[in-house]
Structure 1
Amino acid sequence: EALQRMTGKSLSGLPLEGFDYQSILGQCCEMPVGYVQIPVGIAGPLLVNGREYSVPMATTEGCLVASTNRGCKAIHLSGGATSILLKDQMTRAPVLSFGSARRAADLMFYLESPANFETLAAEFNRSSRFGRLQKIKCATAGKNLYPRFSCSTGDAMGMNMVSKGVQNVLDFLRKDFPDMNVLGISGNFCSDKKPAAINWIEGRGKSVVCEATIKGDVVRKVLKTSVSALTELNMLKNLVGSAMAGSLGGFNAHASNIVTAVFLATGLDPAQNVESSNCITMMEAVNNGEDLHVSVTMPSIEVGTIGGGTQLPSQSACLNLLGVKGSNKDLPGANAKLLATIVAGQVLAGELSLMSALAAGQLVKSHMKYNRSNKDILNATANAKASS
């Protein structure tokens, strides 16, 4: 009410009651005035690595859940998908300044020397039971140094964990490099929440590849198109078209749609959709042209199953639905790794269905049917309350 008086604007559509604000204060949101409702749909079952998952997707885009569900069906009828974790490494790269390029290079040589790794790892690792330094890769710009620290982070997404480890190392380095000036704990060589070639090439968070072979009759009967049409469209749209656009990590149809919807449902940081949606979709005719091999390679999926919004009741329930709620007591890090493989599998399903709709000329028709409405939602809600 105070905000409405101050601004002169109505907030009648923004709910205030019915939310546990104690669960977010000091960790999720400051100065809350309400909460935004996003519907959650289920796409699946997604059959990946021999297990079925009903995948929650929070979205306001009509067709998205239905389309992804069709992709899940096609994968299931073809025997399922295989999702493989390639790397697990969260990164942080401070920016360090020196009086000369020579001194910046001296520190670079020290940090990248195998002889010093155990000493640096001991300093990095002492602030966490789960954060373990994997490697340090440096870049220089004149007399400025950008050391990119990579580490495993258990079931946490791990930004705070890796930042603490980096601070430990920087404090340790001051003895031999007293002239080092730490300008920022993050120097954008990490790189977090922005398009960056280094995440596409080196990876960040979880790097995953997911593949499936879709039977020819499933392509025809479920996806309503042909193997040849899909492979041609994928080459000319996802590969050539994206290259013509100067795309960076965007060699796909709509990976970010699925990534964002799953992130919102499970309490993950939606801003990290920027790098988490890096994806190249490949399609190839196999078995004498009868069947379709499809894969998505995603080098920087940034997920965790503890911390941040994952602890909120609704988001926690969605993680529980997937069997990855909280930390894995028996094998720390296993839940976050599993979630990344599920995300890649769901992206595979989404890519299959949208590409098929495009190849068959169904996209506009589907969106006109499911993504447009002449209903007045606010009036419908008010009428429902009045009649109850």
Structure 2
Amino acid sequence: MAGKNLYMRFTCSTGDAMGMNMVSKGVQNVLDFLQNDFPDMDVISISGNFCSDKKPSVVNWIEGRGKYVVCEAIIKEEAMRKVLKTTVPALVELNMLKNLTSSAVVGALGGFNAHASNIVSIVFIATGQDLAQNIESSHCITMMEAVNEGKDLHISVTMPSIEVEYTGANKEAPGPNARLLSSIVAGSALAGELSNPQ
């Protein structure tokens, strides 16, 4: 509620589709139904922007929108040294000071990472996704910590609102194809966070 205005957020499953058009049609039907019970209700817009489509928002970080994915990996000390040319303590410190602390200082909204949006954009372009939905799909917090007595690196990305669709939906159980694509987006973001943290 804001004054005498009501902003509603509808939650539903859209299977392998991103589903914004499908949801809009369903919302219109719900609003038509409610208009019968509340004839004085003025519907200003089907979307009151509470969906937070194509913009960063706290509501999408907290409630999610699209697919919520956490991806993690353990990187061995030898790979850190030989491939990444760094150490576990150095990368953990960099992540804490840059991705977490600095992002908090500037008031970042969903951007507690090095460059997740670059990777999300690349995957979206390659798979024909709506590139404008990179904004909320790039909400990402990158976490790093030393594990196995400080020798190895545990890295994870948490991405609460990856918005993708998959043409050729799974007919038996709609949704797994889009979930798999979301996992690929998150895994790619994790690889990007690991390979280019500076």
**Per the shorter chain, which TM-score range?**
over 0.9
Cα displacement (A) at 1:156: 0.6
Cα displacement (A) at 1:167: 0.9
Unaligned runs of 5+ in 2: none
User: Aligned to 2:87, which of 223, 226, 229?
Assistant: 226
User: Aligned to 1:288, which of 140, 145, 149?
Assistant: 149
- Share of identical aligned residues, percent? 75
SS of the residue aligned with 2:9?
Answer: strand
Superposition RMSD in Å: 0.8
SS of the residue aligned with 2:44?
Answer: strand
Tell me how far apart the structure 2 counterparts of residues 207 and 333 of structure 1 sit (CA, whole Å). Answer: 13
1:222 aligned partner, one-letter code: V
Name the TM-score, length of structure 2 as normaliser: 0.98
Aligned to 2:20: 159
Deviation string, structure 1 residues 337-361 (Cα, Å, up to 9, x no partner):
1100110000000000002xx3xxx
SS of the residue aligned with 1:141?
Answer: coil
Aligned to 1:249: 110
Largest Rg, 1 or 2: 1
Aligned to 1:363: none
Aligned to 2:38: 177
Tell me how far apart the structure 1 counterparts of residues 186 and 15 of structure 2 sit (CA, whole Å). Answer: 19
User: Aligned to 1:330, which of 172, 184, 188?
Assistant: 172
Aligned to 1:79: none
Cα displacement (A) at 1:204: 0.4
1:151 aligned partner, one-letter code: C
Q: Counting strand residues as a fraction of each chain, which structure ranks higher?
A: 1
User: Aligned to 1:197, which of 51, 58, 62?
Assistant: 58
1:330 aligned partner, one-letter code: E
1:293 aligned partner, one-letter code: H
Deviation string, structure 1 residues 364-383 (Cα, Å, up to 9, x no partner):
xxxxxxxxxxxxxxxxxxxx
2:128 aligned partner, one-letter code: G
1:167 aligned partner, one-letter code: Q
Cα displacement (A) at 1:256: 0.2
Deviation string, structure 1 residues 174-218 (Cα, Å, up to 9, x no partner):
121101111011111111001211111111000100001111111
Tell me how far apart the structure 2 counterparts of residues 260 and 245 of structure 1 sit (CA, whole Å). Answer: 23
Q: Which has the higher contact order (CA 8 A, sep 6+)?
A: 2
Give the total of aligned pairs.
198
Aligned to 2:49: 188
Deviation string, structure 1 residues 224-271 (Cα, Å, up to 9, x no partner):
100000000000000001011110000000000000011011110000
Tell me how far apart the structure 2 counterparts of residues 332 and 202 of structure 1 sit (CA, whole Å). Answer: 21
1:272 aligned partner, one-letter code: Q
Tell me how far apart the structure 2 counterparts of residues 177 and 337 of structure 1 sit (CA, whole Å). Answer: 38
Structure 1 residues 375-386: aligned runs within 5 Å = none
Name the TM-score, length of structure 1 as normaliser: 0.50
Runs of 4+ in 1 over 3 A off after TM superposition: none
